[in-house]
Structure 1
């Protein structure tokens, strides 16, 4: 892969579904489909919205190890990023990725206590394309 950040960034920007992984209290992996990221800083930091009351938030607070997976179904390409997930509940973070229409999920608005931001920090990745996989550092 010539330009890791550009190749992976383009893939992330095109997805309509993201998959996030967490570790439960028994040490088993858990996977969940989510809406696409709201923001990304290169491929190092990726931001999602979720409910503070969700099972995933409690798992990340207990164990921040995480992975995210993005795939392009049309061209059968995918990338898994491994790293850590931080739960952000401060007003600056919440306002940073808030969008009009989010009251559908968070009826009390940007200050809704059941609205938080997940900030994923990637450390390593694995890209699949053209019948082969390639590991890379982020």
Structure 2
């Protein structure tokens, strides 16, 4: 993967307002949900908020395998990241992701028992642009970037 492609991947992540998050249900089928792109640490770690009582949190507790998809429909670019999601209920992660207005979803604030953070850690990815696929591991991505 070239430095130019790495820049495109990073730009796509930075511009994203919505990320498509895929989980696996109890029957082994993928479930996809659009979620707000709130916080990330480079390309590897991404954070999302949801209710601990949600179907999605239950699915990730049962099977942590996950997939994220970022897209730019206008330029026909797409980035798929595969990895795992950890359901975090500790104060550190909850405060990290807390935003003004979350009280609408979590009335008790940052300590709401039903508020949790989904922490995605990527292991690999595929970037699509200009009729070409570029598959990579996080090690390959970070090696070129370094």
Is 1:81 the counterpart of 2:81 in the alignment? yes
Cα distance change of structure 1 residues 5 and 99 upon mapping to structure 2, 3 Å threshold: farther
Equivalent positions of 1:110-121 (< 5 A) are 110-121=110-121
Gaps of 5+ in 1: none
Quote the residue 1:46 is aligned against.
Answer: 46
- CA distance in 2 between counterparts of 1:97 and 1:9 reads 20
Q: Give the deviation of 1:5 after TM superposition.
A: 4.6
Q: Tell me the equivalent position of 1:18.
A: 19
**Counterpart in the other structure of 2:71:** 71
2:34 maps to 33
Q: With the length of structure 1 as denominator, give the TM-score of the two structures.
A: 0.94
- Quote the Cα distance in structure 2 between the aligned partners of 1:110 and 1:40: 19
Give the number of the structure whose residues are more often helix, by fraction. 2
| Length-normalised TM-score, structure 2 | 0.89
> For structure 2, which runs of at least 5 residues remain unmatched after alignment?
139-146
Give the Cα separation in 1 of the matches to 2:42 and 2:6.
6
Structure 1's consecutive aligned runs of 4 or more residues displaced over 3 angstroms after TM superposition are none
- Distance in structure 2 (CA, Å) of the matches to 1:7 and 1:136: 14
